[in-house]
């Protein structure tokens, strides 16, 4: 997502719990400006303390993409408090806190767009997804609608991308089975999601807000 947005002309602040040095290096090599911020998004105090300082290096803010996520598969009856709290903190609460921290900057933009990576699981879960994951993505989808409503008077658009199975480490060894149960006959790629994010972040979707774009190869069809 960072690389695609940079290729389309964006300067990018990349935030992750892991090092984003390689991504930022690619962005700079491509002729754009890039900044890095390694932070645990579940640490709300650290976010509120450090993110404003990092944003001070950025003259404006037009695009917010919230894509941090974790997946667990614990059966409902076995799900414990620690797992529930941890998944919610990453998948849902971090998106809320970051949105709050950048809200005034988005209000100052003439083309503000917030994009959230939700999941098909928000409305069509499977037995291999924990209640914590499903509920967090359902909450995130609802947050999209709320941000779209509250942002509209200021010209802030908010939309979500709901991926199906994507070829990342999160999918693990389930890629072959997932491809077989997907109407298009394959799993998605990170580039598929990045393309959807770019569309929703760009002026090409200027009259689109409060929408969840399903990027699942047809799995939403059942």
Confidence check: pLDDT of 173 > 70: yes
- The confidence score (pLDDT) of residue 62 equals 97
pLDDT at 200 over 70: yes
> For the segment 136-145, what is each residue's pLDDT rounded down to a tens digit?
999 999 999 9
Q: How many other CB atoms are found less than 10 A from the CB of residue 60?
A: 12
> What is the 3-state secondary structure of the chain?
CHHHHHHCCCCEEEEECCCCHHHHHHHHHCCCCEEEEECCCCCHHHHHHHHHHHHCCCCCCCEEEECCCCCCCCCHHHCCHHHHHHHHHHHHHHHHHHHHHHHHHHHCCCCCEEEEECCHHHCCCCCCCCHHHHHHHHHHHHHHHHHHHHHHHHCCEEEEEEECCECCCCCHHHHHHHHHCCCCCCCECHHHHHHHHHHHHCHHHCCCCCCEEEECCCHHHC
How many domains does one find in the chain?
A: 1
| 15-36 pLDDT tens trace | 999 999 999 999 999 899 999 9
Q: Residue 39 falls within a domain, yes or no?
A: no
Q: What is the pLDDT of residues 80-91, one digit of tens each?
A: 999 999 999 999
Per the domain annotation, does 91 fall within a domain?
yes
Which pLDDT score is estimated for 191?
A: 97
pLDDT score recorded for residue 59: 81
- With respect to residue 46, please indicate whether it lies within any of the assigned structural domains: no
What is the average per-residue pLDDT within 183-190?
89
Question: Would you say residue 89 lies in a domain?
Answer: yes
- Residue 82 near residue 33, CB atoms below 8 Å: no
Is pLDDT of 126 > 90?
A: no
Task: Confirm whether 191 is domain-assigned.
Answer: yes
Q: What is the pLDDT of residues 41-99, one digit of tens each?
A: 999 999 999 999 988 878 889 999 999 999 999 999 999 999 999 999 999 999 999 99
Reported confidence tier of residue 222, pLDDT bands at 50, 70, 90 = low
Question: CATH number, domain at 201?
Answer: 3.40.50.720
**Closest Cα to residue 44, out of 80, 115, 96?**
96
Q: How far is the C-alpha of 1 from the C-alpha of 191, rounded, in Å?
A: 8
Catalytic site residue from 116, 133, 154, 199:
133
Q: Within a domain: residue 103?
A: yes
Percentage of the chain lying above the pLDDT 90 cut: 77
Give a yes or no: residue 84 inside a domain: yes
Q: Using N-to-C axis directions, what is the helix angle for 94-107 and 131-151, rounded to 10°?
A: 10
Weakest mean pLDDT among 14-28, 125-139, 174-188, 198-212: 174-188
Is the pLDDT at 171 greater than 80? The verdict is: no
> Is residue 11 one of the residues assigned to a domain?
no
User: What average pLDDT score do residues 137-158 get?
Assistant: 98
Q: Quick check: is 154 catalytic? A: no
Q: What is the pLDDT of residues 95-123, one digit of tens each?
A: 999 999 999 999 999 999 999 999 988 88
pTM of the model: 0.94
Better pLDDT: 128 or 103:
103
Whether the Cβ atoms of residue 159 and residue 208 lie closer than 8 Å to each other = yes
Can you tell me which residue has the tokens 């650290």?
Answer: 46
84 lies in which domain range? 60-221
């Amino acid at each position: 997502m960072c690389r695609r947005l940079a290729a389309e002309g964006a300067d990018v602040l990349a935030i992750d719990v892991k090092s984003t040095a390689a991504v930022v290096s690619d962005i700079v090599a491509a002729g754009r400006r890039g900044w890095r911020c390694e932070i645990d998004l579940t640490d709300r105090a650290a976010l509120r303390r450090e993110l404003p300082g990092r944003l001070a290096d950025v003259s404006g803010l037009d695009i917010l993409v919230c894509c941090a996520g974790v997946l667990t598969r614990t059966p409902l009856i076995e799900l414990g408090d620690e797992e529930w709290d941890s998944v919610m903190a990453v998948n849902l609460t971090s998106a809320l806190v970051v949105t709050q921290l950048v809200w005034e900057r988005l209000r100052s933009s003439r083309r503000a767009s917030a994009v959230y990576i939700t999941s098909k699981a928000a409305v069509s879960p499977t037995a291999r997804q924990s209640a914590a994951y499903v509920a967090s993505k359902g909450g995130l989808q609802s947050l999209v609608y709320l941000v779209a409503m509250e942002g509209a008077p200021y010209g802030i658009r908010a939309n979500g991308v709901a991926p199906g199975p994507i070829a990342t480490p999160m999918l693990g060894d389930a890629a072959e089975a997932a491809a077989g149960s997907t109407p298009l006959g394959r799993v998605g790629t990170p580039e598929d999601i990045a393309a959807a994010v770019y569309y929703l972040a760009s002026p090409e979707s200027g009259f689109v807000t409060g929408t969840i774009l399903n990027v699942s190869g047809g799995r939403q069809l059942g």
